[in-house]
């Protein structure tokens, strides 16, 4: 009978989950699983609501990435109305999405993950957090907070509030960028560039001192998926889907995002409420793929902005250009490059007069009984799929979020790390933290994936084959 270690909950992620680590009789890890154990289903209770309400309902799934659901829901509404939204509205949506990428990536890098690789894996848990980071390097911690604030400033400037802005609607957006708003955003740009440069220089030093982590923290072959533009460049709110493999080869390209169901299947596993999407031509589980910053950089040939393109070349050289970057530890590096290109794009938009246009909405009735909205959320590709009746009332809702699409990869990651660090019948907190960090690499948002609610304490038991409690750890 195998022994089992349970980490419940995983800390410093958005939402609540647990990890089970299985130990064989020799004291070695045989397997590991990532479980999402809480559930409240937006997909069901949205049924019967008008599709036009979805940009107001679905952002409430999560307070970290409400903008992602706002924009995907609005795009699904566009499809039901069968309209092309005005160019100014598309640019404004893109600008808000860039703000969302900046604020979310800054939170992930500086506050959720940096305490591990900057303070040290073995630092006492009471100090290995954002407060410990403030004590160790107050200027860096403050800069990270300010960078996130810049992204939130963009969201608030456009939508009127930082969280749950009632702004994007089917057919367009409610309001344009003002001159006052443009002035405020421009004033932030020098500081945002400086902080991102500091973070990139810092993380490159981390890569020199954490070569072992880069080798074993989710480093395995998989497919990668993300949106690209017509030239194969980085895209975040349009374009088509591309799948590449771990050699860097393109296996499917320019796929219609609205027809995702033709090449993405969804599996259900009994150990988790989190669905496990897969690339259906390869079947389950061989069709495992990753999404998010690492995937987007792997599928993209260029970032489309000067500074980020220079960084992408360095990123691609991590494997000497012969294959994809397969280590999930490099999600952190990819996030910083995406912050950089987002800042560059925000700067370019500040010179675009069309963002202050008053032509912001297209109007139409129900012209299609199914609409799919697809956008790149910070954590990866987000799908909102709505089926309605002739009155526009929702009959079926399907949400495929980034965390679900990374589910199979997260399971493999925690198993890979656990096999390296977990030995015998004694639970060591730094060991647990290393396993947890494998999940933090993906920056999962469990509220989005299964709409979790509530808080749990950490209680880990190591149980031997005969049922004896070999060790026990409690974390308040």
pLDDT score recorded for residue 157:
97
What is the arithmetic mean of pLDDT over 421-441?
78
Measured in whole angstroms, how far is the alpha carbon of residue 194 from the centre of its chain?
Answer: 24
Q: Are 244 and 272 in contact (CB under 8 A)?
A: no
Neighbours of 66 (CB within 10 A): 22
CA 388 to chain CA centroid, Å, is 28
Mean pLDDT for the stretch of residues 252-264: 96
List, in sequence order, the alpha helices (H) in 225-305: 293-299
Task: Say what the pLDDT of residue 235 is.
Answer: 98
Question: What's the Rg (C-alpha) of the chain?
Answer: 22
111 contacts 103 by C-beta, under 8 angstroms: no
Task: Please determine, for residue 314, whether its predicted confidence score (pLDDT) is greater than 90.
Answer: yes
**Looking only at Cα atoms, what is the longest distance across the chain?**
71
Q: Helix, strand, coil % (nearest 5) of the chain?
A: 45, 20, 35
Residue 220 has pLDDT above 80, yes or no: yes
* Lowest mean pLDDT, pick from 230-244, 352-366, 394-408: 394-408
Highest-scoring range by mean pLDDT, 384-388, 434-438, 469-473: 384-388
Give the strand pairing for 18-23 and 3-7. Answer: antiparallel
Which residues lie closer than 8 Å to 253 by C-beta, 6 or more apart?
Answer: 228, 232, 240, 242, 243
Tokens of 90: 């598309």
Directed axis angle between helix 429-440 and helix 407-421, to 10°? 150
Token code pair at residue 66: 């409400």
Quick one: pLDDT at residue 273? 64
The three-class DSSP label of residue 461 is strand
**DSSP codes joined into one string, 392-455:** SBEEEEEEE-HHHHTHHHHHHHHHHHHHHH--TT---HHHHHHHHHHHHTT--BHHHHH-----
Q: What is the pLDDT, as a whole number, of residue 435?
A: 81
Predicted confidence at residue 456, as pLDDT, reads 31
Q: Residue 121: which pLDDT band, with cuts at 50, 70 and 90?
A: confident
Please, which residues bridge with residue 397 across strands? Answer: 386
What tokens does 446 get?
């469990």
> What count of Cα atoms within 13 Å lies in the side-chain half-sphere of residue 300?
30
Q: pLDDT digits over 128-175, tens only? A: 888 899 999 999 999 999 999 999 999 999 999 888 888 999 999 999
CA dist., res. 217 & res. 416, Å (int): 7
C-alpha to C-alpha distance for 334 and 340, rounded to whole angstroms: 10
Q: Is the pLDDT of residue 455 over 50?
A: no
Mean pLDDT across the chain: 88
pLDDT for 476 equals 46
Does residue 467 carry a pLDDT above 70? Answer: no
- Is the pLDDT at 41 greater than 80? The verdict is no
Q: Which helix (H) or strand (E) element contains residue 90?
A: helix 87-106
Q: pLDDT value at position 310?
A: 98
**HSE-up (13 A, CA, CB side) for residue 169:** 14
* pLDDT for the residue numbered 16: 56
**421 CB-side CA count, 13 A:** 27
Lowest-confidence region among 4-13, 93-102, 192-201, 269-278: 4-13
Surface-to-core class of residue 468, CB atoms within 10 Å of its CB (0-12 exposed, 13-18 middle, 19+ buried)? exposed
Phi first, then psi: give them for residue 81, nearest 5 degrees.
-80, -15
pLDDT at 400 over 80: yes
What residues form DSSP beta bridges with 168? 173
68 pLDDT above the threshold of 90? yes
Cα(130)–Cα(427) distance, integer angstroms: 24
Whether the pLDDT of residue 427 is over 70: the answer is no
Strands 168-169, 289-290: parallel, antiparallel or unpaired by DSSP? unpaired
User: Which phi and psi (to 5°) does residue 352 adopt?
Assistant: -100, 105
pLDDT confidence of residue 129: 85
pLDDT at position 184 over 90: yes
CA distance 439 to 277: 17
Q: Please tell me the distance from the alpha carbon of residue 150 to that of residue 347, in angstroms, as a whole number.
A: 12
């Amino acid at each position: 009978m195998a022994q089992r270690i349970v980490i419940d909950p995983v800390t410093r992620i958005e939402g609540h989950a647990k990890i089970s680590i299985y130990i064989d009789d020799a004291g070695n890890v045989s397997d590991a699983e990532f479980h999402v154990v809480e559930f409240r289903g937006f997909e069901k209770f949205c049924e019967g609501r008008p599709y036009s309400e979805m940009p107001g309902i679905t952002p409430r799934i999560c307070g970290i990435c409400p903008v992602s659901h706002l924009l995907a829901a609005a795009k699904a509404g566009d499809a039901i109305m069968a309209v092309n939204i005005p160019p100014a509205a598309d640019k404004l949506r893109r600008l808000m999405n860039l703000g969302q990428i900046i604020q979310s990536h800054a939170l992930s890098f500086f506050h959720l993950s940096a305490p591990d690789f900057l303070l040290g894996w073995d630092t006492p848990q009471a100090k290995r957090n954002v407060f410990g980071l403030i004590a160790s390097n107050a200027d860096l911690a403050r800069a990270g907070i300010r960078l996130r604030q810049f992204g939130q400033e963009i969201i608030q400037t456009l939508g009127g509030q930082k969280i749950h802005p009632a702004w994007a609607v089917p057919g367009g957006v409610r309001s344009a960028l003002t001159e006052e708003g443009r002035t405020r955003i421009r004033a932030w740009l020098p500081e945002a560039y400086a902080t991102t440069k500091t973070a990139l220089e810092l993380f490159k030093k981390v890569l020199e001192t954490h070569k072992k982590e880069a080798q074993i923290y989710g480093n395995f072959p998989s497919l990668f998926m993300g949106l690209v533009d017509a030239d194969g460049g980085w895209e975040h709110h349009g374009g088509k889907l591309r799948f590449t493999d771990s050699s860097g080869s393109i296996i499917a390209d320019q796929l219609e995002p609205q027809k995702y169901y033709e090449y993405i299947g969804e599996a259900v596993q009994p150990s988790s409420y989190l669905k496990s999407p897969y690339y259906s031509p390869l079947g389950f589980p061989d069709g495992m793929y990753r999404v998010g910053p690492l995937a987007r950089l792997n599928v993209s040939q260029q970032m489309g902005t000067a500074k980020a393109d220079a960084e992408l070349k360095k990123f691609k050289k991590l494997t000497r250009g012969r294959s994809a970057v397969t280590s999930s530890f490099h999600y952190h590096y990819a996030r910083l490059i995406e912050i950089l290109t987002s800042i560059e794009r925000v700067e370019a938009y500040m010179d675009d007069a069309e963002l202050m246009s008053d032509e912001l909405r297209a109007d139409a009735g129900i012209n299609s009984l199914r609409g799919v909205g697809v956008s790149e959320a910070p954590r990866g590709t987000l799908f909102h799929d709505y089926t309605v009746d002739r009155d526009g009332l929702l009959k079926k809702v399907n949400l495929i979020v980034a965390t679900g699409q990374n589910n199979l990869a997260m399971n493999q990651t925690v198993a890979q790390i656990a096999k390296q660090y977990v030995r015998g019948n004694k639970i060591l907190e730094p060991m647990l933290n290393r396993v947890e960090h494998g999940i933090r690499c993906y920056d999962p948002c469990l509220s989005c994936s299964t709409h979790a609610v509530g808080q749990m304490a950490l209680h880990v038991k190591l149980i031997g084959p005969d049922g004896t409690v070999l060790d026990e750890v409690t974390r308040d």
